A and B are shown apart, each in its own frame.
Chain A
Amino acid sequence: MSLLAITGGTVVDQLGRRTIDLAVDRATGQVVQAPSGPAADWADRVLDATGCHVVPGFVDLHVHLRQPGNEAAETIESGSRAAARGGFTAIVAMPNTTPCMDSAAVVSEVLAYGKSALCEIKPSAAITIGRDGEALSPMGELADLGVRMFTDDGTGLQDAMLMRRALEYAGSLVVDDGQPIVLSQHCEVTALSQGGVMHEGTVSSRLGLGGQPAEAEELMVARDIALARLTGVRVHMQHLSTAGSVALVRAAKAEGHPVTAEACPHHFALTDEACASYDPVFKVHPPLRTADDVAAIKAGLADGTIDAIATDHAPHTPDSKELPFDQAPPGMLGLETAYALANTELDLEPEALVELLSTTPARIAGVAERHGGPIEPGRQANLAVADPEATWTVDRSAMASNSVNTPFHGREVRGRIRHTVFNGEPVVIDGEAQR
């Protein structure tokens, strides 16, 4: 048996912390009981994890891979390489490709490209055809291909009746693996946010840029909580960015309504003041908000109101960002900096980070059989080895992504992914992608 060993680290997952050496059967890609004696005696490959946390590989509920349609910005391969370098072993691909992932043909294409990726590519699909908010996509057919998340991300589904129908229909679909189907909402009432290119407030007023009020997000959060109550079907709220949204979700959960939520690192690591440079690398939807919102997002992550950290990794080519702020497309890179920012900015125990970055999103994405831990014999070896003390400076020229639009360039952060193991294969060793 060809074995991979991960030695010297502290395993951190939902079973707690333990200092053990891990063995992975490279043929099956599964964790196996480690033989006794030094790893050098039984392993043909040893990954050093001294001083590191060995954690279930991260699961990102929100990634834009740009393929098909905008391969200059990112491909499934380059995006998966960025994911692997960030410690992710499964990522959910958003459907706003060109053409849109609203048909079996396009979802199949993404799945096909995903087979050779450096992590599991779990396609989501659009709720409505063309993400136009008018007619439902063939959700059953897409679910049969393995889609477990539907979203019109990039825009919210404005029509409340259609959202109700989507929830009822998706909620009654029967799928072979028994994994839940979830509707994931980009919460934004566009009638209220139109013309806005950043958060509406003191900074937008000063800069003379159109603003999106926090209420444009909160109105749809409130509406979808009401629809979850009406239908009994779960709604997942994407990229919460305002204090009001966090309060609404907290109250909904207290009342027992079926809602989950994610937040992005940029929404707890940056504020709208960053836009004062007029550099569109800081333009994102929902926009960077205020320091009070940042504090509320952090509190929501700490108390379980927000279930997952998702990156909303959104690559854009340099030329598309070399435009005036209002003309440039929104979005920023996230995969390669997520762990470091969470580790640096959030005052959370490693167990809590594992829950937010891996265990809970794995459940929401419907990949919990293979991802999200626990790390024990018989489970797929989808692992990350993270050094929580390593400090480094984010460098946009050192990214695996095809794009360079990270808003964190030059920022010193703490916490770095050393190795990533995907289905038993070490796809990242000492920070270097292996293929």
Chain B
Amino acid sequence: MKHLLSINELSRGDLEELLELARGFAEVQERDIPKVPALRGKTVVLAFFEDSTRTRTSFDLAARRLSADVVNFSVSSSSAAKGESLRDTVETIDAMGVDAVVVRHGSSGAPHRIAAWTDASVVNAGDGWHQHPTQALLDCYTITERLGGLDGRKIAICGDIQHSRVARSNVEAFTALGGEVILVGPRTMLPPSLEGWPVKVEPDIDAALADVDVAYFLRIQQERLAAGAFPTVREYRARYGLTVDRLDRLRPDALIMHPGPMNRGVEIDPEVADDPRCLVLDQVSAGVPVRMAVLYRLLGPGRFDPDQAP
């Protein structure tokens, strides 16, 4: 495995191996000194072309806990507008001699292009509407910790699917691990075509939530309102939000998830966000060991031999 660009490049076995590896790193985090020397001497660049404090911090911690050197390379997406091509930026980073580039970019496919221009391993930390593979891995990790796995589990993903990299990578990861995915949202927020997607679509959120193991809510962006995806925030909350009333429709053992940051009172009511079934903070905690697993898998001793267990 040279890069981690998208979930569909991983087999079920790859996914399970990464989750297993993450479990080991989670134990490391419990220690007094939550650090291992696995990537000593390796350099990881965090190239964030789009701001994301949470994801960057999580990768930063993950790399440091593996003893890698970490460099932050913040670039505004607008450098392109100023005349610098993405390739120039990447070759500049590459020329400094780095082992991995963690890329967050507002444009779908940017990490794929970057991978063609660097010798370093590229980790996709979220690209446009396309993929957010480490989010999918940490979500799978969180579900697996609670439910023992995803086989046969029903997961409803609710909200703006079309503009969500989390949705695209989670659909692939959840189904690859045996889960069953139901997409819920207005047609304005579904991809124009779902041909080839292993999902069901349920326009009625109350019908969808009645029988799921996991209710996964996506963040709604205000700009979608301006683009005519829904008429008012009030109406969105009433028809597609996880309100206090709607909470009663969930099974008592159902899990509530959200990639954060939450819009309390829009896609999720404040009281719901604080419900014990809501795993948002567990998801955040899972981020560090999962990202340690990814970096270790790409840069660690087992890098070139997928069969060699760490």
Residues of A at the B interface (CB closer than 8 Å) are 200-202, 204-209, 211, 213, 277-279, 319-320, 322-327
Min CB gap A307→B, angstroms: 31
Contacts A207-B130, A208-B130, A279-B113; A326 near B107 (Cβ below 8 A): yes
Contact B128 A209 (CB under 8 A): yes
Contact A319 B87 (CB under 8 A): yes
Min CB gap A410→B, angstroms: 15
Contact B85 A325 (CB under 8 A): no
The count of chain B contact residues (Cβ–Cβ below 8 Å) is: 27
Contact B113 A324 (CB under 8 A): yes
| Complex partner residue of B107 from A202, A279, A325, CB under 8 angstroms | A325
Contact A202 B108 (CB under 8 A): no
Contacts A208-B108, A208-B129; A327 near B80 (Cβ below 8 A): yes
Q: 8 Å CB contacts to A: which residues of B53-90?
A: 80, 85-88
A114, B122: Cα distance in complex, Å: 47
Of B86, B107, B165, B168, most A-chain CB atoms within 10 Å: B107
Chain A residue with the shortest CB-CB distance to B5: A278
Chain A residue with the shortest CB-CB distance to B78: A327
Contact A209 B110 (CB under 8 A): no
A279, B165: Cα distance in complex, Å: 19
B274 contacts the other chain (Cβ, under 8 Å)?
no
B308 contacts the other chain (Cβ, under 8 Å)?
no
Of A209, A211, A324, A327, most B-chain CB atoms within 10 Å: A324
Contact A209 B193 (CB under 8 A): no
A277, B108: Cα distance in complex, Å: 11
Q: 8 Å CB contacts to A: which residues of B102-157?
A: 105, 107-110, 112-113, 127-131
A431, B88: Cα distance in complex, Å: 35
Residues of B at the A interface (CB closer than 8 Å) are 80, 85-88, 105, 107-110, 112-113, 127-131, 162, 165, 168, 191-197
| A-B contacts besides A206-B196, A209-B108, A324-B86, 12 pairs, CB < 8 Å | A200-B193, A202-B195, A205-B191, A205-B195, A207-B108, A208-B128, A209-B129, A277-B112, A278-B113, A322-B85, A323-B85, A324-B110
On chain B, the residues within 8 Å of A201 by CB distance are: 192-193
Contact A324 B131 (CB under 8 A): no
Min CB gap A200→B, angstroms: 5
A-B contacts, 18 listed (Cβ < 8 Å): A208-B108, A208-B130, A208-B165, A277-B112, A278-B108, A278-B110, A279-B113, A319-B85, A319-B88, A320-B85, A322-B86, A324-B86, A324-B109, A325-B107, A325-B113, A326-B108, A326-B128, A327-B80
On chain B, the residues within 8 Å of A279 by CB distance are: 113
A207, B105: Cα distance in complex, Å: 14
Min CB gap A268→B, angstroms: 22
On chain A, the residues within 8 Å of B165 by CB distance are: 208
Contact A213 B192 (CB under 8 A): yes
Min CB gap B176→A, angstroms: 15
A109, B97: Cα distance in complex, Å: 49
Contacts A208-B130, A208-B165, A209-B128; A323 near B86 (Cβ below 8 A): yes
What 8 A-B pairs come out closest when comparing CB atoms?
A278-B109, A324-B107, A208-B130, A208-B129, A205-B191, A322-B87, A322-B85, A208-B108
A202, B193: Cα distance in complex, Å: 5
A213, B193: Cα distance in complex, Å: 11
| Complex partner residue of B112 from A204, A206, A278, CB under 8 angstroms | A278
A200, B162: Cα distance in complex, Å: 12
Min CB gap A78→B, angstroms: 22
On chain B, the residues within 8 Å of A277 by CB distance are: 112
Chain A residue with the shortest CB-CB distance to B107: A324
On chain A, the residues within 8 Å of B110 by CB distance are: 278, 324
Min CB gap B157→A, angstroms: 15
A278, B129: Cα distance in complex, Å: 13
A324, B115: Cα distance in complex, Å: 12
On chain B, the residues within 8 Å of A202 by CB distance are: 193, 195-196
On chain A, the residues within 8 Å of B193 by CB distance are: 200-202, 204-205
Of B108, B194, B195, most A-chain CB atoms within 10 Å: B108
On chain A, the residues within 8 Å of B108 by CB distance are: 207-209, 278, 324-326
A434, B195: Cα distance in complex, Å: 52
On chain B, the residues within 8 Å of A200 by CB distance are: 192-193
| Complex partner residue of B80 from A206, A213, A323, CB under 8 angstroms | A323
Min CB gap A195→B, angstroms: 8
On chain B, the residues within 8 Å of A209 by CB distance are: 108-109, 128-130
On chain A, the residues within 8 Å of B112 by CB distance are: 277-278
Contact A322 B192 (CB under 8 A): no
Chain A residue with the shortest CB-CB distance to B165: A208
Chain A residue with the shortest CB-CB distance to B128: A208
Contact B194 A205 (CB under 8 A): yes
A200, B88: Cα distance in complex, Å: 30
A279, B87: Cα distance in complex, Å: 12
A192, B196: Cα distance in complex, Å: 25
On chain B, the residues within 8 Å of A204 by CB distance are: 192-193
On chain B, the residues within 8 Å of A324 by CB distance are: 80, 86, 105, 107-110, 113, 128
Min CB gap B42→A, angstroms: 27
Chain B residue with the shortest CB-CB distance to A324: B107
Chain A residue with the shortest CB-CB distance to B195: A202
Min CB gap A69→B, angstroms: 16
Chain A residue with the shortest CB-CB distance to B191: A205
A23, B211: Cα distance in complex, Å: 84
On chain A, the residues within 8 Å of B105 by CB distance are: 324
| Complex partner residue of B88 from A211, A322, A326, CB under 8 angstroms | A322
Contact B109 A205 (CB under 8 A): no
Contacts A319-B85, A322-B87, A322-B88; A207 near B109 (Cβ below 8 A): yes
| Complex partner residue of B131 from A205, A208, A327, CB under 8 angstroms | A208
A208, B6: Cα distance in complex, Å: 12
On chain A, the residues within 8 Å of B197 by CB distance are: 205
A76, B59: Cα distance in complex, Å: 50
A325, B129: Cα distance in complex, Å: 13
On chain A, the residues within 8 Å of B162 by CB distance are: 205
Min CB gap B10→A, angstroms: 16
A294, B193: Cα distance in complex, Å: 19
A208, B163: Cα distance in complex, Å: 7
Contact A211 B196 (CB under 8 A): no
Min CB gap B112→A, angstroms: 5
Of B86, B168, B192, B194, most A-chain CB atoms within 10 Å: B192
A205, B191: Cα distance in complex, Å: 5
On chain A, the residues within 8 Å of B127 by CB distance are: 208
Chain A residue with the shortest CB-CB distance to B110: A324
On chain B, the residues within 8 Å of A208 by CB distance are: 108-109, 127-131, 165, 168
Min CB gap A403→B, angstroms: 14
On chain A, the residues within 8 Å of B129 by CB distance are: 208-209
